[in-house]
Amino acid sequence: MIRMETSLRVRYAETDQMGYVYYGNYATYFEVARTDWVRSLGTPYADFEHKYGVMLPVLELRLQYHKAATYDDLITIRTEVRTRPGIRIHFHHEVVNEAGELLVTGEVVLVFIHKDTMKPCRPPAFFLEQIDQCWQES
């Protein structure tokens, strides 16, 4: 399992009329955390597309809301990959506030595809090597 944390402060524009984070924004928060997770392995996500011709569209998104985040809250998105990716990669997310209260849990499944053909493919070898190295170090 490889895990990391990303923190951000809730902006006013991300809240709804009730003052809570609009539910759809959690998908964006998960994307920010996934991008940070990939970068933490040593390769920016943009390199997947530009250097290796691989894209990662979202195949599934599941969220469960436990408690609302509000404007100016500092939230932390915990991101884990629990299994070695194949054609798909599963990200597990938890969002907590500064008090450590669980706000949202979710899972996002992405699929590796060739940029030119839009057909599923295996992850680039360098990426699997980075993941294997992280697992050996943990």
pLDDT one-digit tens code per residue, 29-76: 999 999 999 999 888 888 888 989 999 999 999 999 999 999 999 999
89-106 pLDDT, tens digit per residue, is: 999 999 999 999 999 999
What's the rounded mean pLDDT across residues 73-86?
A: 96
**DSSP at 19:** S
Report the pLDDT value the prediction gives residue 2, as an integer from 0 to 100.
86
Question: Total domain count for the chain?
Answer: 1
Residue 113 has pLDDT above 90, yes or no: yes
Task: Count the neighbouring beta carbons within 10 Å of the beta carbon of residue 133.
Answer: 12
Active site residues: 16
In this prediction, residue 138 has a pLDDT band, given cuts at 50, 70 and 90, of low
Q: Residue 20's domain spans which residues?
A: 2-137
Sheet holding 58-65, edge to edge: 2-9, 74-81, 88-96, 102-111, 58-65
Mean pLDDT across the chain, nearest whole number? 94
Q: Is the dihedral of CA 108, 56, 9, 42 positive or negative?
A: positive
CATH of the domain at 19: 3.10.129.10
State whether residue 35 is helix, strand or coil.
helix
Report the pLDDT value the prediction gives residue 59, as an integer from 0 to 100.
97
- Residue % of the chain over a pLDDT of 90: 80
Answer with the residue of higher pLDDT: 20 or 46: 20
CA dist 109 → 6, 12, 36, 56, 82 (Å): 19, 29, 16, 9, 12
